[in-house]
Structure 1
Amino acid sequence: NIPFTGSIHGGLQEGKSIILSGRVHPGIDRFHVNLQAGSMHGANIALHFNPRYDGHHYVVTNTFQCGSWGSEERKQTSPFPPGSNFTLQITVTRDFYQISVNGSHFMDYRHRIPFHSVDTIAVGGKVDISSISFSTPAGFPSFPAFPQPGFPPAMPVVPYKNFISGGLQPGRTITIQGMVQPNATRFHVNLQAGSMHGANIALHFNPRYDGHHYVVTNTFQCGSWGSEERNQDDLSVPRFFQLTIICENNAFRIVVNGMQVHTYNHRITPLQSINTLEIDGDVQLTSVMV
């Protein structure tokens, strides 16, 4: 529910990313995402990210500390048109927050408050948020955003299978973090309509490492595979990866480590019938956010 305030388990650290997926209301005037030190009214806000829609579309960023706002920074363009779905990723670097929207770099915001003090995320305004997840550097656990403190989830085990509550719909995002095993030959991520053997597979995402590195995507329905699509990018899925699959109206958009690598048009509908995530192969999982 919006407004939303949740704790950031483990706080912020260099290399950590926050990924929000959502939808802008058609009649929006503004919304905001705040990274702040504490959840109390008047808490210091390290990053205030604020798309606005008065006259034209632009984005304001600022910091609130010691009871007052600093000098705001403005981007006179905005990648958040009214009524659109989006994925916003904020990555912590040593000197600034690196902000990407829909897999493309949007802006950097230099730190004015030490990021180590940030432990809370808050979202408000005319926006729907379907998921908030955190990706941390290799060797650290990842957590979902909880309104109250909770225990971190156990490390997912391969082969992995999980039910997607309510099925897929535009704006829903699945985020997978893990490591490709040394001497790997291949692994796959399947989005399926059902969990039984032989179920239709709406998206088969299949990185392969035989000779050179490439990715195969395909669909399995009515007992047979369709025509496969291949991405010949040698760096499409590096050893340490965060894979984000964004369900849109007409396609799955696939983002790896913040960069869009592929768009795969839907071949199976209705989307709500796609209700199972399955992962297997030469991969070790750190976290899975469904």
Structure 2
Amino acid sequence: LLTYKVPYQPNRNIPYLGPINGGLREGMSIYIQGTIPKHINRFFINLICGEYESSDIALHFNPRFDGWDKVVFNTCQNGSWGSEEKIHRMPFRKGEHFEMVIIVNFQGYQIKVNGIDFHTFQHRIPMEQVRGLQIAGDVSIQMINFIGPGGYPGGDMGPVPYSSIIQGGMFPKRTIVIRGMVPYGAHKLSIKFLVSRSRDVAFHIHPRFREGIVLRNSMIGGNWGQEEREMIFSLSLRCQSVVGTRGLKCL
């Protein structure tokens, strides 16, 4: 199962407080893209059990740049904070861009920053009670995206092979997140970004699982370019300057 979403209201103003339509379910993810300013003290990301600042907090994620850099996790119920979990590692760098994913699973909230596992905060409040997202402090947010089974804003991408239009096309800093599960014995996966009229392939990424390699290429006028090979499989696709790309195809 793969899920495909486009950014759903970029360039959010901070502080931000907004709903999570339909609430959280196991298997969903929240993708956040932003920038840490050079002069930062702290910021926080809350998953709240309502749509108001006074709502209970199921997840409090609070990076603190205070000389003893750390990230504090907690919950708040009926106005009372629980016991803090302090992680004395800082996954963010001052003045740099970041990509963060909150994965909702049975155990808790698994936090990944820039593709690296950081910490899993175990559930203290049932995930089904979460109804909102709150972000405040010294941070700039470019994108918030909800991904997963029935996740807002839309449903699952559907079975493969799959082909669809990218509404509005690609533009600088637009990010597409593809999340799925590779079945046992899988041989390969193909993802193509197509130019709508010419059917040229602006970008083709082709993991070959049995060989442990990822191939990248493009095709213009029916001719493939020089192939790039890499021994990894970690997808984070961001458009930098491609104009005219209108389609996404997964095989």
CA distance in 2, matches of 1:57, 1:274: 41
CA contact (8 A) 1:164 1:276 kept: no
Give the direction of change, closer, same or farther, for the CA distance of 1:187–1:72 in structure 2 (3 Å limit).
Answer: closer
**Among candidates 161, 166, 176, match of residue 162 of structure 1:** 166
Tell me, which stretches of 5 or more residues in structure 1 are unaligned? 145-151, 237-242, 253-270, 283-290
CA contact (8 A) 2:46 2:135 kept: yes
1:1-290 correspondence runs (5 A): 1-136=13-148, 140-144=149-153, 152=154, 158-164=162-168, 167-169=171-173, 172-177=174-179, 188-191=190-193, 195-197=196-198, 201=202, 203-207=203-207, 215-220=214-219, 224-231=223-230, 236=233, 245-247=236-238, 271-274=240-243, 276-282=245-251
CA distance in 1, matches of 2:181, 2:91: 31
Tell me, which stretches of 5 or more residues in structure 2 are unaligned? 1-12
Q: Percent identity?
A: 37
CA contact (8 A) 1:79 1:101 kept: yes
Where 2:128 maps in the other structure, the secondary structure is: helix
Where 1:116 maps in the other structure, the secondary structure is: helix
Query: 1:56: how far off?
Result: 4.0
Give the direction of change, closer, same or farther, for the CA distance of 1:73–1:186 in structure 2 (3 Å limit).
Answer: closer
CA contact (8 A) 2:146 2:152 kept: yes
Give the direction of change, closer, same or farther, for the CA distance of 1:64–1:179 in structure 2 (3 Å limit).
Answer: closer
AA aligned opposite 2:39: G
- 1:68-121: CA deviation from partner (whole Å, max 9, x where unpaired): 222211111111111111111112222321111111110111222122111111
Query: 1:214: how far off?
Result: 5.3
CA contact (8 A) 1:189 1:204 kept: yes
CA contact (8 A) 1:97 1:108 kept: yes
Cα-Cα RMSD: 3.3
Give the direction of change, closer, same or farther, for the CA distance of 1:246–1:54 in structure 2 (3 Å limit).
Answer: farther
Query: 1:180: how far off?
Result: 8.1
CA distance in 1, matches of 2:246, 2:137: 31
CA contact (8 A) 2:15 2:135 kept: yes
CA distance in 2, matches of 1:280, 1:173: 16
Equivalent residue pairs, number: 237
Where 1:107 maps in the other structure, the secondary structure is: strand
Where 1:159 maps in the other structure, the secondary structure is: strand
Where 1:124 maps in the other structure, the secondary structure is: strand
Query: 1:130: how far off?
Result: 2.1
- TM-score, length-scaled by structure 1: 0.68
- 1:114-143: CA deviation from partner (whole Å, max 9, x where unpaired): 22111111111222222222232xxx3222
CA contact (8 A) 1:164 1:275 kept: no
